Amino acid sequence: MIRTETRNQRTLEIDFAQGGYLAIAAESFLTDRKASGLTLQSVEFYAFRLKDFIRYCDGQAVTLVQDITPDFLRRYLLALAEGHNAGGVHAAFRTLRAFLRWLEAEEVMPPEWKNPIRKVKPPKLPTEPLKPVSLEDVAALLASCTQGDNAERDRALFLFLLDTGIRARELCNVNLEDVEFGAGAVLIRQGKGRKPRTVFIGRKTRRALRSYLRTRRDNSPALFVTVEGDRLSYNGLREILRRRARDAGLKDEPTLHQFRRAFALNMLRNGADIFSLQRLMGHSDLSVLRRYLAQTDQDGQAAHLRAGPVDRM
């Protein structure tokens, strides 16, 4: 029944011979995810979602994997929808799908067991475009970066986010050695799914980055650091944005991810082709990118003026 002879797998086989205890299966699944080389964030994502599911199962007196039916999964997702947005419900579904398919692939369940997730349709995600930070708000943020010890850093940071479109955690992991100033190339060593890629910064961002680096007096390898010279964390990055948004008097505080959306939309408006944009953003397919592109009727009109076939006959 078991393909491997690891201690973890032998333990799992014994447990399932006595009854497929959900909590034990979940622990083994997370161990396998770690051993497979997933990032810490991905493992934590699975752990958080599975903990929530097990809590729900406990409330329904369900402790065995064999007792999870398609109807049970549907009721869980419906209950989850009462307090979460569509993205959160879909994330829970993806976690359960990965977990149950892993159990299926490991062949630790009884032969008569059938994977219940295969009969459950994934929840629908909203199709409306995701809102980007406006260039006017970015200009206001930059204008607020005129005072304080970290003014040069914060200015370079906002320009870097907008010019590369990288994820906030990717920015925190960039090192000085990853930036090639001549070509403006920035190596993202481990993007989502541990996939490396190269992004780029323009002249203005390079100029701001050099000004910031001239203020540095630390030996940290990180590109962006705190006052103490430590690598800037995700929470620290979010606090910088929150403080600068307050200083700039912005009515709606932008999120870090809205810079990524603004990069995508403005690249497209400025003539970038969709496939190059997909590669720069590190998306495996175009379906995710499509929601970043909050285009307006004016965008469609401008595209038609550039490429309308009749006027160019």
CA 229, CA 90: separation in Å to the nearest integer? 39
CA-based end-to-end distance of the chain: 68
Short-list 9, 181, 38, CA closest to 103: 9
CA 141, CA 247: separation in Å to the nearest integer? 8
CA 83, CA 86: separation in Å to the nearest integer? 10
CA 120, CA 104: separation in Å to the nearest integer? 16
State residue 192's pLDDT score. Answer: 72
State residue 292's pLDDT score. Answer: 62
Domain ranges of the chain: 7-119, 135-295
**What is the SS3 string spanning the chain?**
CCCCCCHHHHHHHHHHHHCCEHHHHHHHHHHHHHHCCCCHHHHHHHHHHHHHHHHHHHHCCCCEHHHCCHHHHHHHHHHHHCCCCHHHHHHHHHHHHHHHHHHHHHCCCCCCCCCHHHHCCCCCCCCCCCCCCCHHHHHHHHHCCCCCCCHHHHHHHHHHHHHHCCCHHHHHHCEHHHEECCCCEEEECCCHHHCCEEEECCHHHHHHHHHHHCCCCCCCCECCECCCCCECCHHHHHHHHHHHHHHHCCCCCCCHHHHHHHHHHHHHHCCCCHHHHHHHHCCCCHHHHHHHCCCCHHHHHHHHHHHCCHHHC
Short-list 283, 227, 185, CA closest to 174: 185
CATH number assigned to the domain covering 135-295: 1.10.443.10
State residue 7's pLDDT score. Answer: 45
State residue 129's pLDDT score. Answer: 62
Q: What is the CA radius of gyration of the chain?
A: 24
State residue 125's pLDDT score. Answer: 72
Residues 281/165, Cβ–Cβ less than 8 Å? yes
Topology (CATH level 3) of domain 7-119: DNA polymerase; domain 1 (1.10.150)
CA 124, CA 89: separation in Å to the nearest integer? 9
What predicted TM-score, i.e. pTM, was given to this entire model?
0.68
Q: Which residues of the chain carry a pLDDT beneath 70?
A: 1-20, 126-130, 193, 285-304, 306-313
CA 96, CA 94: separation in Å to the nearest integer? 6
State residue 19's pLDDT score. Answer: 47
Residues 155/208, Cβ–Cβ less than 8 Å? yes
